[in-house]
Structure 1
Amino acid sequence: MNKFSILNSKKKVDKDVWMKIWIESKQKEVFLNPNYIELYQEKEDETLCACYIDNETTIIYPFIKRPIDISIGDNKQYYDIITAYGYGGPYYTGIKCKDKENYFWDKFYTWCIEHNIVSEFIRFSLFEEELASYPGDVELNNLNVVCNLTKSNDDIWMGFKHKVRKNVKKAKSAGVTVEVDLNGDTIDSFIDIYYKTMDRNNANNSYYFSNEYFNKIINQLSDNFVIFNAIKDNKIIATELVLVSEDSMYSFLGGTDSEFYGIRPNDLLKYEMIMWGKNNSKKHYVLGGGYRPQDGIYKYKLGFEPDGVMEYKVGKRIFSEDIYNRIVDKHINTIGIKKEELIKQNFFPLYRIK
C-alpha cells in the first residue's frame, strides 16, 4: 500500500484493507467503519476513504462521493463529498507531523481536482486531539453535551442537575427498570416506538430509516451498538440505540411511549446508560446537542453534565470557485430563489438546498 491511497468500499480488496486499518486503530471509532459510512450511501454514491500510512503515522478520512445532478453544459459529471451523519474528519493515529499532514492534503487535493470534486463538507469529531489539521474553512455549527465517564459514581450523580436526580428517583419509584440489549433482539420494539416518536414530532422524512437500515446496524455493526430499554410491567416504554467505540458512546436514535412521560423513564434510561459506559471502560458519553442552539433538547441534555459543553464544528471547502458558482447559478434559476436569500441560510453547498 502506498503512503497515500483512496480506498473504495465497493472493491473487496479495498474494503478489506480499510477494515484492517480500522480494527488496528486505537479508537476503533464507529464513524470510521466502512459499514457505518455505507448506511448513508445513496444509489449513485461511493463510500471512499483517503488514507496516509507509514511506520509511525496513520491518517484515515472516510467520506461519501456524491454526483451533482446539475449540468452546466460542459459535458462533465461533477461531484461533491460529505462525511456521513455523526462525527468524522481526518482521524490521526501515531506521531503527528505537519509535513505528513501537508503531504496528505496535497495528495487529496490533487485527487479531488482529477475527479471533478467541486466541494467538501465535513462533520468533525468533537475530540480535536484525534484529528489532523484541516486546510479548509472551519465553523462552529452547534454545542454538544459530553458526559465525563472517568469520574467517580458519586461525582457523576452529584454532577447531574437536581431535576435530573429527582426524575431518576421518580422513575425508579414507579417501578421502571432498564435492560441492556447487546444483540438487537428488541430491534422490532425499538423501531415501533421510534417511528411513533417521529410521527408525534412531525419529523423530517429523512429520519424515517428503513428496516434494512436498522438490520444493517444489527448485522454489520454488531460490536458498535447497544440498545437500552426502559421497562415497566414487562413493557418497553422508552428505548435508545447507542453507538459505541473504544473510548466513547454516542446517543443515536431513540423514542418514548407518550403514555409514560409522567414517570420520567428517559432520565433513568440516560443514567443507566452512563453507568453502563463507565462500567465498560468508556471515557465519554456524547449526548449531542439540540436542533438549534440553546433549545429545549440541548438544555435537557445539559442537565446530565452542565460542565460538559463541547463545540461541534464543520469544515467547508470549495475546490473550484468557478464551477461551484456556475452550478449554484444554474440551481438558482431552476428553483427561483435569489442568491442573496440562499446565502442568508448558511447552507452548504448552496446547490443542494431545496
Structure 2
Amino acid sequence: MAAELRVLDAQVDHAEWLRRWRDTPSREPFSHPAYCSLFAEEGIRATALAADFADGSVLFPVLVKDLGREPWAGPDDRRRDLSVPNGYGGPFVAGTVSEQECAGFWRLVDGWACQERLVAGDVRLSLHLDEVLPMRGWETVHVSDNVVVDLRARADPCAGFSSSLRRNIARAGRSDVEIGQARDVVSWEIFRKLYTETMNRREARSDYYFSAAFFAGLRSRFEDAGLFLAYDAAGEALSGELFVTSPSRSYSLFSASSSRGLKVHANEAVKSEAIRHCADSGRDCYVLGGGNAPDDGLFQYKLRFAPQGRRAYYVGRRVFDRTSYDALVGERQRWALRKTGGPYVPDRFPAYR
C-alpha cells in the first residue's frame, strides 16, 4: 500500500504533476497540468491524486467542485463532487501496480473523499482502459460509443471516409473553401466566436460554453493544441477544428461552423485537413468522440469519417455519501418546481446536476 496520497494543485504543484505526467506512457493531453488548470475557477479546484508503489505510480487528475456554487444548493453548502476536465480521464498508471496496491490506492481516495465531503464522482474514462487503474468500488458504465479514425491503416487517411463524405469534401473545394492551420491570437478569437455561435444554434447546455480567457489560455499555456480554420474566397470564416495531441494520438476537442459553413460542407473539409495533418505528424489515430445520445445524428455524422471506427466508451460513477446524494436530488427537484412549476427529470449522473 502507498505510504501516502499526494494531492497536487495544478498551479502550486505544477512541476511535480508535470514530472508524474511525463512518467505515464501515453502522456494524455487531458491529464496535463496546464490543460487541467484551464478549468480551475472560483469553487472549482484542478487537482491530481497521486501515489507511488513498489514498481509503479498512479496519477488521477480531477476537478473538485463546490456544490455551494450551484443556485439550487445555496452558498452555505460545504459539500463537493468530483469530475474530470473535458475529454477522457481516469487514474493513469506508470509502471506496474498490483491488485493489492490498487485496492490500497482506492482506500486512500475514499479517505480523502470523506475529508473533502465529496458526495459523488463522475469520470469519463480513457478509451484505452488498459492504461488506467481498474475503478475498484466504482460503477463502470458503457454509456455510448465513440468514433476513432485509424491513421495507420492507409497511406491516405481520408481514403477510408464514406463515399458521401468524400463527395461533400469535393463540393467544398468547388465552393472555393480555403483551409489553413491557425496559430495567431486573432484566428483563435475567430474560432471562439464561431464556437459560441454553434453552441447558440444547438441550444447547448451552459457547460458547453467556454470563456475568451479559456481559449486564450489553451493557446498560450498548452502547446499540444492545434487549430485549422476554413474560409471562403472573401475571407469569411466558415468552420474550424480545434484538436489536442499526445505523442501517439490526436483528439478533436471543439468543432464549430457557421450556418453557411454547413451548407458548403466546410465543416467536413476542415476536419479532414486536421486528420491529414495529424497523420502526417506521426499520430496513430484521431479521436472524434461521440454524440449527445447513442447513435444520434451527430454520432452518425462522425461515423462517416471512420465507418469501422466505433469504439466502446465508459464512464466511472461513484456515490460517496448516499444520504447527501439523495438529499441533493430532493433539493434540486424542489428548486426546479419553484422555478418552472414542473418536475425535475434527471438526464445524467449525478442526478442532482
TM-score range, shorter chain: 0.7 to 0.9
Distance 1:205 1:346 in 2: 15
Counterpart CA distance in 2 for 1:335 and 1:229 is 40
Name 1:168's counterpart in structure 2.
169
Equivalences for residues 60-139 of structure 1 within 5 A: 60-69=59-68, 77-135=78-136, 136-139=138-141
Bigger CA drift: 61-70 or 159-168?
A: 61-70
Give the corresponding residue for 2:154. Answer: 152
CA distance in 1, matches of 2:262, 2:327: 51
Structure 2 residue 250 is matched with structure 1 residue 249: yes
| 8 Å CA contact 1:8, 1:15 repeated in 2 | yes
Does the CA-based 8 Å contact 1:184-1:227 persist in structure 2? no
Structure 2: distance between partners of 1:76 and 1:263: 50
Alpha carbons of structure 1 residues 260 and 77: separation in structure 2 relative to 1, 3 Å = closer
Match of 1:53 in 2: 52
Q: Establish whether residue 230 from structure 1 lines up as the match of residue 222 from structure 2.
A: no
Tell me: CA distance 1:184–1:24, structure 2 relative to 1, closer, same or farther (3 Å): farther
Q: Counterpart of 2:203?
A: 202
TM-score by length of 1: 0.87
Q: Secondary structure at the match of 2:78?
A: coil
Offset at 1:264?
A: 1.7
Aligned mates of 1:130, 1:185 — CA distance in 2: 37
Distance in 2 (CA, whole Å) between partners of 1:208 and 1:330 is 25
For residues 80 and 190 of structure 1, what CA distance do their matches in structure 2 show?
32
Q: Aligned pair in 2 of structure 1 residues 143, 197: CA closer, same or farther (>3 Å)?
A: same
Q: For the residues of structure 2 that align with 1:332 and 1:192, how far apart are their CA atoms?
A: 34
Q: Which moved more, 1:119-128 or 1:205-214?
A: 205-214
Residue 63 of structure 1 deviates from its aligned partner by 0.8
- TM-superposition CA deviations, 1:136-191 (whole Å, max 9, x none): 0011222211101112224x333211101111222223333321124555112212
Aligned to 2:270: 269
- Cα displacement (A) at 1:134: 0.3
Residue identity matched to 2:34 = N
CA RMSD, 1 decimal: 2.6
Q: Is the 8 A contact 2:241 2:274 kept in 1?
A: no
Residues 233-287 of structure 1 show CA distances to partners (whole Å, capped at 9, x for unaligned) of 2623211111222222111222223234343222221221111111111112111
TM-score norm. by structure 2 comes to: 0.88
Contact 1:182 1:225 in 2 (8 A): no
Query: Are 2:57 and 2:97, in contact at CA under 8 Å, matched by a contact in 1?
Result: no
After superposition, the Cα gap between the structure-2 partners of 1:307 and 1:263, relative to the gap in structure 1 and judged at 3 Å, is same
- The separation in 2 between residues aligned to 1:24 and 1:57, in whole angstroms, is 10
Alpha-carbon distance, 1:226 to partner:
0.4
Off by >6 Å, runs of 4+ in structure 1: none
